[in-house]
Amino acid sequence: MLKTTSQQLIDSLGYEGGRVGQPILMSAALDQTTGNKNLLTVPNGQVFLCTHILVQADVAAYLLAPVPSPDADQSYTELQLHDPGGSNSIISLRGFARYSGSFNDGASPDFRTAPPGNAVMWKLKYPFAVPPGWSVVQSAAPTAWGNQSAIYGVMVSEPAARELGYHAENASPTLSRRSGITSAGSASGTNTVLTGVAGQCIRVLDVQLRMQPEAVASNQLTLQQGDGQKIFITHNDNPAEHLSMQFSPDWYLKAGQNLVCVTDDANANSINITYEYVDEDDVPPNSWFACIEPTYPTPDAGGASSTTVTVGTSGLPFTRTLNEVTCYYAKPNAAGQHTRTSPTKGFQHLVRGYAVSIQKDATTANATDDTEQTRFTISSGAAAGQIGLLPAGLAQTNYQIAPVFTGSAHDQCLATVIDGINIPGKSDDGSLWVDVVGFKALSTTPTSGTNDIAGFAVSLWGCTAPTFATPRSNKGV
């Protein structure tokens, strides 16, 4: 498995005795009328390890006509990896456009219609390898005007690449290659990103995601296994929102399973993933991921089948849902199970990263924003934390391992991610929970059947380890 990170590789260049290769920069500015630009062909006996990608998608701006609302032809840019036979792998990046419909479309240009700068920098935790004989190409299509790009990395010998864990086969982008980079997200529907291999698990190393719909519409992106097991979900229904994420989750999929991308809006997103195939025997048995779509805190009739509880006082009423997280382990336990909630006796969950996403609805057609409020957090405890709404915020009985997030305004898109952390949950019986509170302004009970939520998901990843840390008594107050 890959263990040498980009930063370790870069740091080694500063020490004479530890250098493993030659730092390289490939860069070009490209006019669309000139066709593709070959940045570099990797010499025989060498391997290029890419550590950074920096691109800028350029548009016609006001040279010809005002830039319209976000459009696929204006907003995508590509880099390509060409093998000696002419096949290619594409690194596709969604550029952003100003949603001019929100700012008096066709009016005189001003700060509200200024096109975004569209400079995208992606630092990879693990470099991806470009084998000998392959070329790095800046594509002329599909951007409407031009683009600029730079790729940074280190050129190493084939033996050095293998020592670092990178397979240097001069092969087409097929299953004979053990690691690489792939791109998806621009097509709607269900699309296989990587094909599973019997006896091997796909390990997702780095993810770079950009989302902006062309018009107000449902725009959910889901990564899942071929069997439907969800890994990651996020949303952006709002053309005025420029959503960009990059993170290094270290997800392991079940052996033999495809990696699948599901989207419901074409030409709205791009997602780039670096990966490797790992023998099932080498997969850490304690590594897990989880993806939950929490129950909305909507009013209901109560009773035994109730999923929502209305609590609080007449002056501060609110609804509440408490959602237990099921962790998915690529490697089954002795009983053949891939899922569990509790870490079990003598163990605790460590959360290494999480992403939250809540997309709110439009609620009114007038000047009054009466959106129903949603607040939520992630906690750990033996049972559901009795989270409550206070005048100054939230309080609860569980250990809180994330800040309180809010989805409060009309059309609001909240999406954020954090990784590279190791936050301990409660030991022995400390399941993870997503605790949700819904309330309405002016001290009235929520009435909406959806709490004005269009989409809601929390994705987590981490490991389960023998108990070694005591969580702080963070109750959110």
**pLDDT tens sequence across 45-104:** 999 999 999 988 766 544 344 445 555 455 677 888 888 877 777 888 888 877 666 555
Neighbours of 194 (CB within 10 A): 21
Q: Parallel, antiparallel, or unpaired: how do β-strands 135-138 and 76-82 relate?
A: antiparallel
Query: Could you tell me which residue, 69 or 467, shows the higher pLDDT?
Result: 467
Least-confidence region, from 267-281, 299-313, 361-375: 299-313
Adjacency order of strands within the sheet including 327-329? 339-340, 327-329, 287-292, 453-466, 347-360, 413-424
pLDDT value for 259: 97
With tokens 């880099």, the residue in question is: 79
Residue 370: name the closest of 456, 310, 444 by CA: 444
pLDDT of 328-357, one tens digit each? 999 999 899 999 999 999 999 999 999 999
pLDDT value for 197: 94
pLDDT value for 208: 96
pLDDT of 285-329, one tens digit each? 999 999 999 998 887 644 433 456 666 555 566 788 889 999 999
**Residue 168 · residue 131 · CB < 8 Å:** yes
Q: How would residue 150 be classed by pLDDT, with cut points 50, 70 and 90? A: confident
Is 50 exceeded by the pLDDT of residue 107? yes
pLDDT value for 275: 95
Q: Report CA Rg, the chain.
A: 24
Percent of the chain scoring above 90 in pLDDT: 41
Q: In a 10 Å sphere around its CB, with 0-12 CB exposed, 13-18 middle and 19+ buried, how is residue 165 labelled? A: middle
**Residue 92 to residues 109, 120, 224, 287: CA-CA distances in angstroms?**
29, 11, 20, 29
Is 90 exceeded by the pLDDT of residue 246? yes
Instruction: Give the DSSP letter string of 68-117.
Output: -S--HHHHEEEEEEE-TTS-EEEEEEE-----GGGS-TTS---GGGPPP-
pLDDT value for 325: 97
Q: What value does the mean pLDDT take over residues 242-246?
A: 94
Least-confidence region, from 165-169, 228-232, 238-242: 165-169
Q: What value does the mean pLDDT take over residues 429-458?
A: 84
In sequence order, which ranges of 240-380 are alpha helices (DSSP H)?
Answer: none
pLDDT value for 471: 61
Least-confidence region, from 12-16, 200-204, 247-251: 12-16
* Gap between the Cα atoms of 290 and 338, Å rounded: 11
pLDDT value for 351: 97
With tokens 């990797």, the residue in question is: 42
Instruction: Give the DSSP letter string of 191-230.
Output: EEEE---TTEEEEEEEEEEEE--SSSS--EEEEEETTS-E
Query: Could you tell me which residue, 460 or 71, shows the higher pLDDT?
Result: 460
Mean pLDDT for all residues in the chain = 82
pLDDT value for 308: 60
Q: What value does the mean pLDDT take over residues 439-445?
A: 67
